[in-house]
Structure 1
Amino acid sequence: MNPSHTFSIAGRAIGPDQPIYLIAEAGVNHNGELPLALELIDRAAEAGADAVKFQTYRLDELILPGVKKAPYQQRTGDAGESQSAMLERLAIDEEFHRALIARCEQRGIRFLSTPYGSRSLALLESLQVPVIKIASTDTTNQLFLEEVGACGRPVILSTGMSTAAEVLAAATTLRAAGCRELLLLKCTSNYPTPPAEVNLRSMATLAALTGELVGFSDHTEGVGASPAAAAMGAVLIEKHYTLDHDLPGPDHRASLNPAQLTEWVRRIREVELQLGSRQLGPSPSESDTRPSLQKALVVLQDLQAGETLTRRNLGALRTGGQGIGAFHGLDLLGRRVTRAIPAGTPLQWEDLAR
């Protein structure tokens, strides 16, 4: 599905035949509280994720005052609160960011964040965040995409809510502005995403349309969709997680808890093992099994020296590895034997006349 070129985050190659890059999406599930955010980092590191991602924004470059919450946000919180008021509570400043980065360095996990405007992009650049992740809300924001493309960092772009033409235009704008490494995420911007709207097959369409690497931003409930995306060629997968589904906030209920996050990582890595190699042929364990289970050529009737091999007197049985492999059966019909051979004897090459 994916092109053969690679994408990198701080020297870690991402692409076909590379380990899938797993992002634990903390998002705003810290509820604006640093202790919660630090614990989220700890849980992501313990689960084995490659990176943990937050959200970086300044309210005045993201939303107008009084804008209503999205329907899923209304279902998971105070429906009377405006979206802008909610986001104001969840915004984090530079000092908060630095504390998160320090904790990530301590725990050996990569810090990532999504900027939502020019100043938040500048902050992440100043903090040396190695890759810029653009949310679906900005897939059609051509002014911002041009800024992001010009920053010189690899870009991950979510594509939720966007048409094929809009996604192609976004990729074109980023590339034209100077983006040298681009990765697109198949995404459905609904929390949680109903199974019928996941549309994993469209990952291949996205790759064919743009020629870019493709991953999956998983907003479904549970862990099932991500391993399926891994099997279908996603090179990067992200998933929201929380410390507790019952915490107040817009994304907690559609997120994995820490135990589920660990299972999410385990199942994706298991799929990677199962995908294995592109090379055809027996596996190492099959090489041990082959002598016991594969058939070899066996004489079915008593033969005298000089008799001809036919379908009536030659067959294939399991012999425990003795004799000529059944693969050669058609080639040996019509050949003469050089000695008397009792029925039930595995045929050997030296039994055949030249």
Structure 2
Amino acid sequence: MILAAKTAGADIVKFQKSNLEAKFTAKCLEQPYDSVNSWGKTYGEHKRYLEFSEDKFQELMDYAKELNIACTASAMDILSARFLNKLNVPFIKIGSGDVNNLPLIKEVCQMGKPVVLSTGMADMQWVRKIIETVKESYTEINVNPPYKLVLMHCVSR
């Protein structure tokens, strides 16, 4: 898929990175997951099957670099954000499912990384709260405006 993106003219590819134990409770991961779309008997087995290990993720990053295409990911939790920061990705994306995860947003900002954040179905009051949080977080590490934030918004019906 990285090669296909490069061949199609893309400048960057984006994956998702989760630390399942940081993102989900043990009870959630142990839940039976009986579905035609299941890759395991429990939700945890299913998610572990789909999740790239840190070694595999490093392979993806190396391959993208070899092809001269940038690579990043959505951080689904703080531990994943820290891992992505170690890989020196050009920015970290925060998905709409974490639009209310202010500790994650603060952590990413305090890394000094640019943030691309999907606002999903957040209302304008919450978007203002996110912007305030980003400004405060960058200020704490002495990053001056313009702040490194891109907001994306998709409308659902």
Are residues 82 and 137 of structure 1, via their aligned partners in 2, closer, same or farther at CA, if it must alter by over 3 Å?
Answer: farther
Q: How far apart in 1 are the matches of 2:2 and 2:36?
A: 23
Match of 1:106 in 2: 66
Q: How far apart in 1 are the matches of 2:137 and 2:131?
A: 10
Higher gyration radius (CA): 1
- Is the 2:70–2:90 Cα contact (8 Å) retained in structure 1? no
- Is the 1:112–1:129 Cα contact (8 Å) retained in structure 2? yes
Deviations 1:171-214 (CA, angstroms, capped at 9, x unpaired)? 211121007211011135xxxx6xxx3xxxxxxxxxxxxxxxxx
Q: What amino acid maps onto 2:87 in structure 1? A: L
Are residues 171 and 87 of structure 1, via their aligned partners in 2, closer, same or farther at CA, if it must alter by over 3 Å?
Answer: farther
2:22 equivalent to 1:55 = no
Q: How far 1:136 moved relative to its partner?
A: 0.9
Q: How far apart in 1 are the matches of 2:46 and 2:136?
A: 35
List structure 1 segments (4+ residues) > 4 angstroms apart after TM superposition.
80-83
Q: How far 1:161 moved relative to its partner?
A: 3.1
Q: How far apart in 1 are the matches of 2:73 and 2:63?
A: 14
Paired residues, number? 145
What are structure 2's unaligned runs of at least 5 residues? none
SS at match of 2:153: strand
Deviations 1:22-58 (CA, angstroms, capped at 9, x unpaired)? xxxxxxxxxxxxxxxxxx1111111111111111111
Deviations 1:224-281 (CA, angstroms, capped at 9, x unpaired)? xxxxxxxxxxxxxxxxxxxxxxxxxxxxxxxxxxxxxxxxxxxxxxxxxxxxxxxxxx
Q: CA RMSD in A?
A: 2.4
Q: How far apart in 1 are the matches of 2:42 and 2:124?
A: 31
- Is the 1:52–1:110 Cα contact (8 Å) retained in structure 2? yes
What TM-score do the two structures reach when normalised by structure 2? 0.81
Taking the TM superposition and a 5 Å limit, the aligned residue runs for 1:24-43 are 40-43=1-4
Match of 1:46 in 2: 7
Q: How far apart in 2 are the matches of 1:132 and 1:76?
A: 32
2:54 equivalent to 1:94 = yes
Q: How far 1:65 moved relative to its partner?
A: 3.6
What are structure 1's unaligned runs of at least 5 residues? 1-39, 69-73, 198-354
Q: How far 1:81 moved relative to its partner?
A: 5.8
Q: How far 1:83 moved relative to its partner?
A: 4.3
Q: How far apart in 2 are the matches of 1:146 and 1:46?
A: 35
Higher relative contact order (CA 8 A, sep 6+): 2
Q: How far 1:75 moved relative to its partner?
A: 8.8
Q: What amino acid maps onto 2:148 in structure 1? A: E
